[in-house]
Structure 1
Amino acid sequence: MYHSSKPSPDSSYIRPAHRGKHKIFIGMAPGVGKTYRMLEEGHRLRQEGMDVVIGLLETHNRQETAQRAEGLEIVPRRQINCSGVFLSEMDTEAILARQPQLVLIDELAHTNVPGSQREKRYQDVEVILAAGINVYSTVNIQHLESLNDLVARITGVVVRERIPDRLLEEADQVVVIDVTPETLEERLKDGKIYALEKVDQSLQNFFQRRNLIALRELALREVADNIEEDALAETANSHQPAAPYCNIHERVLVCVSTYPNAVQLIRRGARIAGYMHAPFYCLFVDDPDRFLTKTESLHIETCERLCNEFDGEFIRVRDQDKARAIAGVASNYRITQIVIGESQRSRWKLMLRGSLTHKLLRLLKNIDVHIIATDKLN
């Protein structure tokens, strides 16, 4: 994957025409250790013979971070004249001319100073990747575009510097740097994140415990989503027989019918989904050989409205084989939990035709089935 040889500055070196690999270190907030971890990996790869440089490092006066950078080559920053004031930015062209195998670039969401060739640092990173140079970068979860409104509701802070979601989707690897909120608070109080005079203000604003807990969950879930999607894509692209795959996220499916207890089942399923912070779905399987009465149709419409009230998705399919239909939807939607009511059939019919539950259990793998008794719904 990597070559240990380093081109001389005046050689006519031509890099192979392939895109560089991108690894992103993501965290819930400043101070979790993203930059430090990136520098550690840079040192390790350099010791293994790789040509590693620092393209841009922001230490924020953190002594430990500055010390960890020692021994790694730093590409000098470019000085840009901005209305008579000289400001420094990453020198992308110097990195391209230097042609390292790996470049370490801090703060992916940074906005470049006016007069720069590109507006955002992530755009510089894309240029470097297109040149076949591998990049390690860092970013905090609150800078992700799709989470902007949610982060503002959680923290009361509107994040101005943002990156498109596609950067995480296109990255070859996303690593979450995770610490507990308590550990982060200790680092803050010790002056390891900001200057001591800013600590109290930070603890009362962005670094409130409830904010950190919510941001930590966002970071962990975002990476879990990426892992799950990558695993599904790998299975889809593989020519090997598909191996059983366990979903990372819980997803709850409630199976409703024309029986009156369907409304109570939806409420029970919504509670289960709420406990698990899981997406919620309801399924009704239409039998193509029979028509619903007006009362039954109104009942299903009521189920659909209730499902929508719980922010769920109502699914309706036509199939004579209910168990097969449920198993198909469960597979397509990557369901992990199914909620059904106990059978309303007579004991004699169950003996002749078997129960839906038994058929489902034969068809489903790695899915929990909750069978709710009628008396427990009241």
Structure 2
Amino acid sequence: MRTAKRGKHKIFIGMAPGVGKTYKMLEEAHQLKQEGIDVVIGFLETHGRKDTAIKAIGLEVIPKKTILYKNINLEEMDTEAILNRSPQLVLVDELAHTNVPGSHREKRYQDVELMLAAEIDVYSTVNIQHLESLNDVVAAITGIVVRECIPDILLDEADAVVVIDVTPETLEERLREGKIYAANNIEQSLKNFFQRRNLIALRELALREVADTVEEEANTSISPEQICNIHERVLVCVSTYPNSIQLLRRGARLANSMNAKFYTVFIADPERFLSKEESLHIHTCEKLCQEFGGEFIQVKSNNVPQAISQVATTHHITQIVIGESQQPRWKILLKSSFTQRLLELIRDKKIDLHIIATEK
């Protein structure tokens, strides 16, 4: 649990080294200093980048401490000196860094937690591949297992998360110009981590992760009627009719094309039991939904449109897929159709309704 009095944490995140996270952090620090905020650099890693080093000029730097490890003097951030100095804001580069053995804390993010607990605001930087939950995904994309990770809760609890975004083409250009690594590392980097397909995938991960954070924060502070949906979410409504299998496939294709989360709902009538054949059919729908990477939801209700609307609200659905009515036309004319009733319920929820023609 977060305490009432605590420093604010702003994280600058990017898809890869060289996108400009540290530069942007320093730029904002200069602006705050001009406004009278007491800003210091707790740890800065320029990687030999001239533009970054120049941008740091004019900001107070807390000297690093030296730790002897295997007869080699290594430098680390001096957290105790920062706590004693007690500035309003401290800049900490490379949040996922592992401290030298023998340090008071194993990870740099643990040092940051200490500063935040001391009511010091922190600006930090990290690349998307260092997020713990994405470790396996990043390894599958790049073929590289990232050893230094930060827990996802750091991103969840941050007061602000800013994605520093550039196109893969811009990043490649910076790399070739020697603005990221030394000349002797450029070609090797382009063939390995900085391959175009890697950068495209990592960029999408970074943008999606921040979108998730923004959406979650927005939705915890507003009423259900004001829900903020950044991501698309597809809900397929299945029934005991055989055409449900067609709907599932169409819905899954729609979700895949929109890079959307996928859900399937079956509204069961509480006043009747399903036959063995119907139960088997619904089980098949559930299994198929899971094969498509979706979540299967079953609800008991006498009011099918109302139940679907409630599920859509709860799961922040943006697209609903239903089949065309199986009722005879004379029945539809006698009373308002299922589709009409559902449309009335979702009209103000910014949900699109897809009515799919299926085989009788």
TM-score (ref. length: structure 1): 0.92
**Cα drift, residue 17 of structure 1:** 7.8
Moved over 6 A (4+): none
Partners in 2 of 1:84 and 1:304 — Cα distance? 61
| Residue aligning to 1:283 | 265
**CA RMSD in angstroms, aligned pairs only:** 1.3
Partners in 2 of 1:147 and 1:220 — Cα distance? 13
Partners in 2 of 1:17 and 1:320 — Cα distance? 46
Q: Secondary structure at the match of 2:216?
A: helix
Counterparts in 2 of 1:256 and 1:222: CA distance versus 1, 3 Å: same
Q: Does 1:363 align with 2:350?
A: no
Counterparts in 2 of 1:166 and 1:20: CA distance versus 1, 3 Å: same
**Cα drift, residue 246 of structure 1:** 3.4
| Residue aligning to 1:79 | 66
What amino acid maps onto 1:61 in structure 2?
A: G
Contact 2:215 2:228 in 1 (8 A): no
Q: Which of 125, 148, 169 is equivalent to 2:112?
A: 125
- 1:31-110 to structure 2, matched below 5 A, reads 31-110=18-97
Partners in 2 of 1:355 and 1:182 — Cα distance? 52
**Cα drift, residue 29 of structure 1:** 0.1
**Cα drift, residue 243 of structure 1:** 4.8
| Residue aligning to 2:124 | 137
Q: Secondary structure at the match of 1:374?
A: coil
**Cα drift, residue 222 of structure 1:** 0.3
What amino acid maps onto 1:319 in structure 2?
A: S
Q: Secondary structure at the match of 2:264?
A: strand
Q: Which of 231, 236, 239 is equivalent to 1:257?
A: 239
| Residue aligning to 1:13 | none
Partners in 1 of 2:32 and 2:225 — Cα distance? 33
Q: Secondary structure at the match of 2:12?
A: strand
Q: Does 1:223 align with 2:210?
A: yes
Counterparts in 2 of 1:304 and 1:48: CA distance versus 1, 3 Å: same
Q: Secondary structure at the match of 2:189?
A: helix
**Cα drift, residue 295 of structure 1:** 1.7
Please, which runs of 5 or more residues in structure 2 have no aligned partner? none
Partners in 2 of 1:170 and 1:196 — Cα distance? 39
Partners in 2 of 1:65 and 1:160 — Cα distance? 25
Q: Does 1:272 align with 2:254?
A: yes
Q: Does 1:323 align with 2:305?
A: yes
**Cα drift, residue 104 of structure 1:** 0.5
After superposition, give the CA deviation of every residue in 1:103-136 in whole Å (9 maximum; x if it has no partner): 0000000011111111100000000000000000
Q: Which of 125, 137, 142 is equivalent to 1:150?
A: 137
Partners in 2 of 1:116 and 1:244 — Cα distance? 47
Contact 2:219 2:228 in 1 (8 A): no
- 1:308-319 to structure 2, matched below 5 A, reads 308-319=290-301
Contact 1:144 1:162 in 2 (8 A): yes
Please, which runs of 5 or more residues in structure 1 have no aligned partner? 1-15, 236-240
**Cα drift, residue 374 of structure 1:** 2.0
**Cα drift, residue 278 of structure 1:** 1.1
Contact 1:246 1:366 in 2 (8 A): no
Q: Secondary structure at the match of 1:24?
A: strand
Partners in 2 of 1:131 and 1:309 — Cα distance? 48
Partners in 2 of 1:165 and 1:300 — Cα distance? 36
| Residue aligning to 1:238 | none
**Cα drift, residue 19 of structure 1:** 0.6
| Residue aligning to 1:338 | 320
Q: Tell me the number of residue pairs that the alignment of Structure 1 and Structure 2 aligns.
A: 356
**Cα drift, residue 357 of structure 1:** 1.1
Partners in 2 of 1:84 and 1:92 — Cα distance? 23
After superposition, give the CA deviation of every residue in 1:244-289 in whole Å (9 maximum; x if it has no partner): 2230001110000111110000000000011011111111100112
| Residue aligning to 1:8 | none
Contact 2:12 2:164 in 1 (8 A): yes
Q: Does 1:191 align with 2:173?
A: no
What amino acid maps onto 1:339 in structure 2?
A: V
Q: Which of 309, 333, 347 is equivalent to 2:329?
A: 347
Q: Which of 153, 165, 170 is equivalent to 2:157?
A: 170
What amino acid maps onto 2:243 in structure 1?
A: N
TM-score (ref. length: structure 2): 0.97
Contact 1:24 1:171 in 2 (8 A): yes
Partners in 2 of 1:257 and 1:243 — Cα distance? 28
Counterparts in 2 of 1:86 and 1:68: CA distance versus 1, 3 Å: same
Contact 2:141 2:198 in 1 (8 A): yes
